[in-house]
Amino acid sequence: MTSAPQAAARTAVRRARVWLTRAAEPGQAAMYALVRLVGPVEAVHLIRSRQAPPTVQSAVGTRSEDDRVDQDISVARRFGIRLVTPEDAQWPVRMLHPMVMATERGLLDIAPPLAVWVRGPVPLDEAVERSVAVIGSRASTAYGEHVAAEIAFGLADRGWTVVSGGALGIDGAAHRAALAAEGVTVAVLAGGLDRPYPAAHGALFERIAGSGLLLSEWPPGCAPYRRRFLIRNRLIAALSAGTVVVEASARSGTASTARRCRELGRSLMAVPGPVTSAVSVGTHELLRGGDDGGARLVTSTGQVLEEVGRLGEDMAQPPRAPPGSRDGLDALARAVLDSVPVRRAVAPERIARAAGVAVLDVLRVLPSLELQDLVELTEGGWRLSQAERRTGDHGAGG
Amino acid sequence: MTSAPQAAARTAVRRARVWLTRAAEPGQAAMYALVRLVGPVEAVHLIRSRQAPPTVQSAVGTRSEDDRVDQDISVARRFGIRLVTPEDAQWPVRMLHPMVMATERGLLDIAPPLAVWVRGPVPLDEAVERSVAVIGSRASTAYGEHVAAEIAFGLADRGWTVVSGGALGIDGAAHRAALAAEGVTVAVLAGGLDRPYPAAHGALFERIAGSGLLLSEWPPGCAPYRRRFLIRNRLIAALSAGTVVVEASARSGTASTARRCRELGRSLMAVPGPVTSAVSVGTHELLRGGDDGGARLVTSTGQVLEEVGRLGEDMAQPPRAPPGSRDGLDALARAVLDSVPVRRAVAPERIARAAGVAVLDVLRVLPSLELQDLVELTEGGWRLSQAERRTGDHGAGG
CA-based nearest residue in chain A for residue B285: A297
A265 at B interface, C-beta within 8 A? no
Task: Tell if the CB–CB gap between A287 and B297 is shorter than 8 Å.
Answer: yes
Among B86, B113, B104, which Cα is nearest to B381's?
B86
Whole-number pLDDT of residue B1: 59
What value, to the nearest 5°, has the Cα angle with vertex B308 and ends B305 and B310?
Answer: 100
**CATH architecture of the domain with residue range B327-391:** Orthogonal Bundle (1.10)
Q: Is A300 on the interface with B (CB under 8 A)?
A: yes
Nearest residue to B82 via CA among B22, B123, B39 = B123
Which CATH class, in words, describes the domain spanning A325-391?
A: mainly alpha
Q: Is B371 left (phi over 0), alpha (psi -120 to 50) or beta?
A: alpha
- b (16+ CB within 10 A) / e for A2-35: eeeeeeeeeeebbbbbbbbbbbbebbbbbbbbbb
Give the separation between CA A315 and CA B312, rounded to whole angstroms: 41
B303 touching A (Cβ < 8 Å): yes
Tell me the β-bridge partners of A213.
A186
CB pair distance less than 8 Å for B303 and A296:
no
Q: Which residue of B has its CA nearest to A296?
A: B288
pLDDT for the residue A318 = 39
Give A-chain residues touching B281 at CB under 8 angstroms: 299
B284·A271 Cβ contact <8 A: no
* Chain B residues near residue A271 by CB distance under 8 angstroms: 275
Overall pTM > 0.80: no
Does the distance separating the beta carbons of B303 and A275 come in below 8 Å?
no
CA of residue B90 relative to chain centroid, distance: 12
Cα gap A281→A275, rounded to integer Å: 7
Which one of B272, B275, B287 has the shortest CB-CB distance to A275? Answer: B272
Q: Judge whether B187 is closer than 8 Å to chain A, CB to CB.
A: no
Q: B296 vs A288: CB contact, 8 Å cut-off?
A: yes
User: Is the pLDDT assigned to residue B105 strictly greater than 80?
Assistant: yes
**A239, B238 Cβ separation under 8 angstroms:** no
Q: How far apart are CA A62 and CA A189, in angstroms?
A: 25
Position A327 scores a pLDDT of: 66
CA distance B344 to B350: 12
B42-51: average pLDDT: 97
Of the candidates A44, A36, A37, the one whose C-alpha atom is nearest the C-alpha of residue A15 is A44
Q: Quick check: A127 and A93 in contact, CB under 8 A?
A: no
* Nearest-neighbour CA in chain B from A152: distance (Å): 15
Preceding omega of B198 cis (within 30 degrees of 0): yes
Cis peptide before A198 (omega within 30 of 0): yes
Write the class of the CATH domain A116-315: alpha beta
Complex prediction ipTM: 0.74
CA dihedral over A276, B151, B158, B168, signed as positive or negative = negative
Return the residue of B nearest to A301 by Cα: B275
Q: Which of B146, B147, B273 sits opposite A272 (nearest CB)?
A: B273
Domain boundaries for CATH 3.40.50.450 within chain A = 116-315
For residues B335-344, one letter each, b for 16 or more C-beta atoms within 10 angstroms of the residue's C-beta and e for the rest, the string is bbbbbbbeee
Res B317: pLDDT: 39
| Between A36 and B373, residue with greater pLDDT | A36
User: pLDDT tens for residues B50-64?
Assistant: 999 999 999 999 999
Inter-chain residue contact A284 with B299, CB threshold 8 Å:
yes
Q: Is A239 on the interface with B (CB under 8 A)?
A: no
Residue of B nearest to A300 (CA): B275
pLDDT band at A2 (very low <50, low <70, confident <90, very high): low
What would the pLDDT profile of A153-191 be if each residue is shown by its tens digit?
999 999 999 999 999 999 999 999 999 999 999 999 999
Distance from CA of B297 to the nearest CA of A (A): 6
Weakest mean pLDDT among A310-314, B78-82, B355-359? A310-314
DSSP labels for B204-265? Answer: HHHHHHHHSEEEESSPTT----HHHHHHHHHHHHHTSSEEEE----TTSTHHHHHHHHHHHT
Contact between chains at A147 and B276 (C-beta distance less than 8 A) = yes
Q: How confident is the model at residue A398 (pLDDT cuts 50, 70, 90)?
A: very low
Tell which A residues from 130 to 149 touch B, by Cβ distance under 8 Å: 143, 146-147
Smallest CA–CA distance, residue B97 to chain A, in Å, is: 30
Q: How far is A161 from chain B (nearest CA, A)?
A: 23
Query: Buried (b) or exposed (e) across B200-216, using 16+ Cβ within 10 A?
Result: ebeebbeebbeebbbbb
Q: By 3-state DSSP, what share of chain A in percent is helix, strand and coil, each rounded to 5?
A: 55, 10, 35
Whether A294 has its CB under 8 Å from any CB of chain B: the answer is: no
CATH 1.10.10.10 in chain A, residue ranges: 325-391
Q: Which residues of A touch B290 (CB under 8 A)?
A: none
Nearest to B194 by CA among B184, B179, B209, B210: B209
CB-CB under 8 Å, A276 with B297: no
Interface of B with A in 313-352 (CB under 8 A): none
Question: Which of B272, B276, B284 is nearest residue A146 as measured by Cβ atoms?
Answer: B276
pLDDT in tens, B152-211: 999 999 999 999 999 999 999 999 999 999 999 999 999 999 999 999 999 999 999 999
B280:A271 CB<8 A: no
| Average pLDDT of chain A to the nearest whole number | 89
Please list, in sequence order, all residues whose beta carbon lies within 8 angstroms of the beta carbon of residue A76, skipping any fewer than 6 positions away.
Answer: A82, A83, A117, A193, A194, A219, A220
Cα separation, B300 vs B134, in Å, equals 12
Pairing mode, if any, of strands B82-84 and A381-384? Answer: unpaired
* Cα B281 from Cα B275, distance rounded (Å): 7
Lowest mean pLDDT among A30-39, B250-259, B262-271, B318-327: B318-327
pLDDT of residue A323: 44
Q: How many CB atoms lie within 10 A of CB A97?
A: 17
| Chain A residue at shortest CA distance from B298 | A288
Share of chain A above pLDDT 70, in %: 91
pLDDT in tens, A44-97: 999 999 999 999 999 999 999 999 999 999 999 999 999 999 999 999 999 999
Q: Return the residue in A134, A141, A246, A275 with the most chain B beta carbons within 10 A, the one to mutate for interface testing.
A: A275
Q: Residue B266 corresponds to which amino acid?
A: R
Beta bridge partners of B346: B382
